[in-house]
């Protein structure tokens, strides 16, 4: 990588970002696409978020990604939202358009694309969604547009689960929804087709924990943990031991990153397919 006065800056903000693979992914994509750009990661304190965004404008950062815990709070500091980000109420990608910072969300479509890549049809399926943060918003609301039958939102904070349930109902009032906590006391586990972990439980520094136990679920249940490092979270390990189909978050990470590059550079499908070459490189870095 050659850095000069014409090099453009892209980055990731969040807390923590120590284990993030985003710099590896995006810098490799810049190489593949022949872009004179560099991607860095910054660990940000919440009380400094406005200062950071003002600084990005001042130094003309061309785009950035947003991760835990800022996917919703970032919205108040942006100049505008894409239609999907406005619907989802969460942002993971920001583009600098002539000095205006516009928020996008590639989480939901990135997640849904991985389901299709794994030949998983969500039509008429019952979903158990663990978490109600920014990633859960992207996933839950996107799935509500794809023909699912029902969604049960389990979250430690009931208020956040209620808010997500309301947003899903706005998009599709015909979906059966219910909420509860991670104990899952009120759920009929045998009815669940797909479990999605959209919490941070399982990633550093919580890698020795699992958000739920898998006792009582039918073996047809698919377990999808969006945590990608470690590649085998405690939840994924248990799913494998029980013979469930299990998917980790690495493919979602790559798909949402590819969509972020599409936002930043208006890339067509031909270029996006080339980005899939990054997947082999990622496997080397994920334990």
Catalytic residue set? 71
Q: Which residues contact 118 (CB under 8 A, 6 or more apart)?
A: 247, 251
Task: Report yes or no: 92 and 64 within 8 Å, Cβ to Cβ.
Answer: no
Task: Report yes or no: 77 and 53 within 8 Å, Cβ to Cβ.
Answer: yes
Helices and strands in the chain, H and E counts: 10, 12
Dist. CA 119–CA 114, nearest whole Å: 9
Helix 278-285 vs helix 22-33: crossing angle, to nearest 10: 150
Dist. CA 90–CA 74, nearest whole Å: 8
| Joined tokens for residue 247 | 């998917």
| Joined tokens for residue 7 | 């090099």
Helix 250-265 vs helix 278-285: crossing angle, to nearest 10: 130
Closest CA to 27 of 65, 82, 54: 65
Adjacent-strand bridge partners of 80:
102
| Joined tokens for residue 261 | 């590059």
Adjacent-strand bridge partners of 224:
196, 247
Cα separations in angstroms, 238 against 204, 217, 225: 18, 12, 12
Task: Report yes or no: 226 and 201 within 8 Å, Cβ to Cβ.
Answer: no
């Amino acid at each position: 990588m050659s850095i000069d006065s014409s090099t453009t800056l892209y980055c990731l903000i969040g807390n923590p970002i120590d284990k993030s693979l985003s710099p590896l992914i995006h810098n490799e994509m810049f190489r593949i696409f022949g872009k004179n750009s560099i991607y860095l990661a910054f660990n940000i304190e919440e009380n400094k978020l406005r200062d950071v965004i003002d600084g990005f404008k001042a130094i003309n950062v061309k785009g950035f990604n947003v991760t835990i815990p800022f996917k919703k709070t970032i919205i108040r500091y942006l100049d505008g939202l894409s239609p999907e980000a406005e619907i989802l109420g969460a942002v993971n990608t920001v583009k600098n358009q002539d000095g205006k910072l516009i928020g996008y969300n590639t989480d939901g479509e990135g997640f849904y694309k991985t389901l299709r890549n794994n030949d998983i049809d969500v039509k008429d399926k019952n979903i158990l969604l663990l978490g109600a943060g920014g990633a859960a918003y992207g996933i839950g609301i996107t799935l509500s547009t794809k023909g699912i039958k029902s969604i049960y939102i389990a979250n430690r904070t009931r208020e956040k689960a209620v808010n997500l349930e309301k947003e899903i109902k706005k998009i599709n009032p015909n979906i059966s929804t219910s909420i509860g906590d991670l104990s899952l006391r009120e759920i009929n586990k045998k009815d669940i087709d797909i479990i999605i972990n959209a919490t941070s439980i399982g990633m550093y520094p919580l890698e020795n924990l699992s958000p739920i136990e898998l006792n009582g679920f039918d073996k047809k249940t698919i377990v999808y943990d969006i945590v990608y490092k470690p590649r085998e979270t405690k939840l994924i390990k248990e799913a494998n031991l029980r013979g469930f189909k299990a998917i980790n978050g690495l493919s979602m990470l790559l798909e949402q990153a590819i969509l972020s590059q599409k936002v930043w550079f208006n890339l067509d499908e031909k270029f996006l397919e080339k980005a899939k070459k990054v997947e082999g490189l990622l496997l080397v870095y994920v334990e």
